[in-house]
A and B are shown apart, each in its own frame.
Chain A
Amino acid sequence: MQSTLPNVHIEQYEGPYDLLVELAKKEQIRLSEISLQSLTDSFLTYIKEREIDPEIMGSFLVVASTLLLIKVRQMVPSLAHEEEEEISDLHHRLALYEKFRAVSEILAARWNTKPLLPAHHFAEGEFQEPGSEAFMPNISSELLHDALQNLIGRIPPPPKPSAHLTRRGRSIKELFAMFQDRLDRVKKLIFQETVHGSSRQDQAVSFLAVLEMARNNSVRLEQEEAFSTLTVHKI
């Protein structure tokens, strides 16, 4: 199911308050104790549909329960005085959160634009250049010679040139047709038996052909466990 929040471009909400503030913005309402309940459905939809980090899921649920409580109160007016505190508490917390969120946006815009710099700020960069002394501990020409010898010794000998050309394998189209043809006759076959004796490349392409057929819903694949017999059923 597609999300009901198509216009929100933030990839992940940082927490339940963050989500509520964004929802309110989107629906162009001011957050108040009354308006909160109109956000309940969108809030619940969001937490149902997204994968929320389990580490922070709990905090989403706490807020969800308060939102539900507000909704229940509206539907059952006799409960109007129940849990009043919890609801106004959420409202106050959201108001406070919004203040910090606002200054955090100001600070984000300022971040790293005109930093105050410490002593050696520029010199540090120079010292970290590779090739400075720290990166060249006691290098001698003997050491380099030995290292090179060692490296050459580890290079594997080149493979003998092969005298024959590789046979061109059969195309996926050919193998697809071959499987279709056989299945028309036998209705079911064992993959391993069918490809037995053909080249490794043909076996691999056959497998792709069978996968393609399964994707088309023209066959059903059955395998008890990994690497065991693969049965191809015609549908």
Chain B
Amino acid sequence: MTSLTQHIEALLFTAGEAVSISDLAQLLSAPEQDVQAALGELAQHLEGHALALVTTATHAQLVTSGSVAEFLAQFAGQDGKELSRAAMETLSVIAYRGPISRYDIDAIRGVDSRRMIRQLLLRGLLHQTRTAAHASLYDISEDALMQLGITNKKELPQFEALSKSEHIDQLLNSSK
């Protein structure tokens, strides 16, 4: 492991929660690109360990790995954090298509999703990126990935087919 990777691991461990990649870059005085590469190395290094690295486009967090999830679940108890069908549908659209605008979420679901997005944001299941020029963009958060038991959205079922479909892009563009 490079020292950058080690330092990232140390920071993530001591932080104990999700840290944004831009914060890591700043703390380590390294370009974000190098941080991303180091995160990749760390994720690989952790394979076979009880710890894993959850990553989204903007954040990283050290968590327990899927291999011990069942073992730990017996101590965790059910905390009743169920999601309604509409909320799960909205989260799915965002997980596969994020970063995505509300406009596109509505276009896929065929219905106004404002309330669902608000709910998901309040529960920390989404990241919201505000840009000056465009509408807010939404993406799935580490917390949501962790609840799904995966470390990256690429592990979602049929991720490639649903995230990078020209057909979907065309359809979304046609409604603009």
Residues of A near any B CB (own CB < 8 A): 10, 14-18, 55-56, 58-59, 63, 89, 92-93, 96-97, 99-101, 103-104, 106-108, 110-122
Contact = CB atoms under 8 A, between A and B. Distances in A.
B175 to A, nearest CB: 8
Nearest to A10: B85
A104 B70 CA distance: 22
Contacts of A116: 52, 54, 63-66, 69, 145-146, 149-151
B16 A119 contact: yes
Contacts of B157: 103, 106-107
Interface stretch (B27-35, B106-114, B126-134): B106-114
Given A108-B85, A111-B83, A116-B64, A17 B109 contact: yes
Contacts of A58: 112
Interface stretch (B3-11, B36-44, B86-94): B86-94
Given A103-B156, A117-B72, A89 B174 contact: yes
B122 interface: no
A100 B148 contact: no
Interface of B: 13, 16-17, 52, 54, 61-66, 69-70, 72-73, 75-76, 78-79, 81-83, 85-86, 88-89, 91-93, 95-96, 106-112, 114-115, 145-151, 156-158, 162, 167-168, 171, 174
Contact of A118 (B16, B70, B108, B167): B16
B89 A104 contact: yes
A115 B147 contact: yes
A100 B89 contact: yes
B62 A114 contact: no
A230 B92 CA distance: 59
Query: Which 9 A-B residue pairings sit nearest by Cβ, starting from the closest?
Result: A15-B111, A114-B69, A104-B92, A119-B16, A17-B110, A14-B86, A116-B63, A116-B146, A59-B111
7 contacts: A18-B110, A55-B114, A100-B96, A106-B157, A113-B73, A116-B64, A117-B69
A46 to B, nearest CB: 14
A103 B92 contact: yes
B66, B82, B109, B157 pick with most chain A CB within 10 angstroms:
B109
B150 to A, nearest CB: 8
B41 to A, nearest CB: 20
Contacts of B167: 92, 96
A97 B146 contact: no
Contact of B111 (A14, A100, A121): A14
Contact of A107 (B61, B82, B95): B95
Given A101-B89, A108-B83, A117 B146 contact: yes
B72 to A, nearest CB: 6
A56 to B, nearest CB: 5
Contacts of B13: 119
B85 A14 contact: yes
Contacts of B76: 115, 117, 121-122
B59 to A, nearest CB: 12
B171 A117 contact: no
A85 to B, nearest CB: 9
Contact of A16 (B54, B96, B111, B147): B111
A115 B78 contact: no
A122 B96 CA distance: 31
Given A15-B110, A100-B162, 7 more contacts: A59-B112, A63-B110, A96-B167, A107-B88, A111-B148, A112-B147, A117-B63
A113 B147 CA distance: 8
A100 B62 contact: no
